Amino acid sequence: MLTPFIFSSVGCGGSKKEPTPVDVIVISGQSNAVGCTHADCITRSMGHSKYQEYMSGYPEIQIAFDSWTKDEKGLFYSQNVSKDETFMKTMLGQGNGLGTFGPEIGIAETMHEKYGNKLFLIKYACGASNLKDDWAQLDSPMYPRLIKYVKRQMKNLEDMGYTPIIKAFCWMQGEGDAWEGYYQKYFDNLSLFVSNLRADLRELAGNVDLPFIDAGISNSPQWQFYGQVNEAKKQFAALSENNIYIDTIAAGMHTNEEPFSTPDTAHYDSESEVLLGQLFAQSFEPFLTPVEDNK
């Protein structure tokens, strides 16, 4: 993608071109935020034409993303598919591999016509990560990287000729904490995490409390204490009008159908992963700059 330049006219009466204001949404969490859903399943679940639409992508909604995975023993973190130095159109293949996708597809599908070229996405997420060890502390393994990445991408947008403001933070995480010794502290860790986020990103969010959009985890049998984690999320959402909880179970999202030969019950099926992005978009739209002000 070509990078536009900000320039000043030369001579009498010359004026500097004003940067274009744009809104930014940050996406983070663990594997369902990274995107482990199989793109080829869309043809069967939603139809070939929808698969082609998602594969062609949405050039009006640009994304920068950096995806990671934590090993099973929690000893190291490996980088997956990444476009961490540039923005590109949102499309399939921006999950943990070229054949997968995350909630960015549903977001772009929902927003590209109304907010096209006025909305950018930044995704930084890590599969198998948990809130307690990886995100809640300032010196945790992933939190400093998240803040550094977001700030770098915001600077990239400025260099491209924009004035970006973060309008919301979308969080899809909690499966890694649905265990004994972890779920009991989820509310406290979530409170600390969001407090740190709002402090560290406050200036980039226009000096307001950053809206926090929090998706509940699935009722997959893999997550022993999913109910307790979701209850902690609900309790936190009740503390502020800038905290929004998405009830993914009530929305009918499921993990038990795909891949069709051997279902991966840890990750959302294709139709549900798209719906996750759509629900995020519906939740953060009230915080966006009104379209009439964006012209």
* Helix/strand/coil (H/E/C) assignment for every residue in the chain: CCCCCCCECCCCCCCECCCEEEEEEEEEECHHHHCCEEHHHHHHHCCHHHHHHHHHCEEEEEEEEEEEEECCCCCCEEEEEEEEEEEEEECCCCCCCCCEECCHHHHHHHHHHHHCCCEEEEEEEEECCCHHHHHCCCCCCCHHHHHHHHHHHHHHHHHCCEEEEEEEEEEECCHHHCCCCCHHHHHHHHHHHHHHHHHHCCHHHCCCCCCEEEECCCCCCCCCCHHHHHHHHHHHHCCCCCEEEECCCCCCCCCCCCCCCCCCCCCCCHHHHHHHHHHHHHHHHHHCCCHHHCC
* Domain presence at residue 153: yes
pLDDT for position 84? 64
* Domain presence at residue 292: no
We report the CATH number of the domain holding residue 164 as 3.40.50.1110
Domain that holds residue 253: 20-287
25: left (phi over 0), alpha (psi -120 to 50) or beta: beta
Asked whether the predicted pLDDT for residue 9 surpasses 50, the reply is no
Q: What are 153-195's pLDDT values in tens digits?
A: 999 999 999 999 999 999 999 999 999 999 999 999 999 999 9
* Domain presence at residue 1: no
Asked whether the predicted pLDDT for residue 285 surpasses 50, the reply is yes
* Domain presence at residue 7: no
Mean predicted lDDT score pLDDT of the chain:
92
* Domain presence at residue 233: yes
Asked whether the predicted pLDDT for residue 16 surpasses 80, the reply is no
Confidence of residue 295 (pLDDT cuts 50, 70, 90): low
Asked whether the predicted pLDDT for residue 8 surpasses 50, the reply is no
Q: What are 114-129's pLDDT values in tens digits?
A: 999 999 999 999 999 9
* Domain presence at residue 94: yes
13: left (phi over 0), alpha (psi -120 to 50) or beta: left
Asked whether the predicted pLDDT for residue 6 surpasses 60, the reply is no
Confidence of residue 2 (pLDDT cuts 50, 70, 90): very low
Whether pTM > 0.85 for this model: the answer is yes
Confidence of residue 12 (pLDDT cuts 50, 70, 90): very low
Contact 165, 206 (CB under 8 A): yes
Q: Mean of the pLDDT values across residues 241-249? A: 98
Q: Which amino acid is at 199?
A: A
pLDDT for position 10? 37
Q: Mean of the pLDDT values across residues 221-233? A: 98
Angstrom CA distances, 169 to 30, 194, 204, 215, stand at 14, 10, 12, 11
pLDDT for position 128? 94
pLDDT for position 259? 96
* Domain presence at residue 10: no
* Domain presence at residue 4: no
Q: Mean of the pLDDT values across residues 197-210? A: 98
Q: How many domains, in total, are found in the chain? A: 1
pLDDT for position 76? 73
Confidence of residue 294 (pLDDT cuts 50, 70, 90): low
